[in-house]
Amino acid sequence: MAVVGYARVSSVGQSLDVQLHKLKDCDKIFQEKRTGTSNQRTRLKACLEYVREGDTLMVTRLDRLARSTLHLCQLAEQLARKQVNLQVLDQNIHTQDATGRLLFNMLGAIAQFETEIRAERQMDGIQNAKARGVSLGRSKTLTEKQCLELRQKRQRGVLIKTLMEDYKLSKASVYRYLDGINAIQPAD
């Protein structure tokens, strides 16, 4: 009966150190740097394949394991079928007993609620910023004059590859400027 740890951070710039320290007593630790919404969580898949009947899967927090309440419930069902317990350190949950399973499901629902509320606040903030006239996204690379020049060069037959080099743009950006999508709109 092994204790298997799983640690995850969302981006390459974040550190796994705190989670790994909390999981230091595990027999084996699977770790990855992937967003929770990614379907490419290969180390989680490997971890779930690795655990066996009687093992305990240990994580520091529920949000490190699952991307939604539905995903959490699917993982819990998968672990239950394999007769693997789940232990969540920071929330003091252990699914080996009825109280732990109840707490697990309640906290999973609350975590999903918090995620949805955070997304709603973010969308409200974006809409408010747009209403105030705040320019969102990356600023345009080319000026209006450079846009016109780029289009004229292309009309004269200059290759896309050359335009990419001349203006230090990706191929997609060159095409967007040619189509007028990135063109700077004249003031009224």
pLDDT at 36: 58
CB atoms closer than 10 angstroms to residue 30: 22
Helix (H, G, I), strand (E, B) or coil at 48: helix
The sheet that has 85-88: what strands, in order across it? 28-33, 3-9, 56-59, 85-88, 93-94
**Residues whose CB is less than 8 angstroms from the CB of residue 68 and which lie 6 or more positions away in sequence, other chains included:** 112, 115
Q: Give residue 92's pLDDT.
A: 87
pLDDT tens, N- to C-terminus, the chain (188 residues): 899 999 998 876 788 999 999 999 999 999 998 775 656 789 999 999 999 999 999 999 988 888 777 788 888 889 989 999 999 999 888 888 888 888 877 877 787 788 789 889 999 999 998 899 888 877 788 888 999 999 999 999 999 999 999 999 999 999 988 987 554 444 43
HEC sequence for 105-159 = HHHHHHHHHHHHHHHHHHHHHHHHHHHCCCCCCCCCCCCHHHHHHHHHHHHCCCC
Chain-centroid distance of CA 186 in Å reads 37
pLDDT of residue 187: 40
- Enzyme catalytic residues: 10
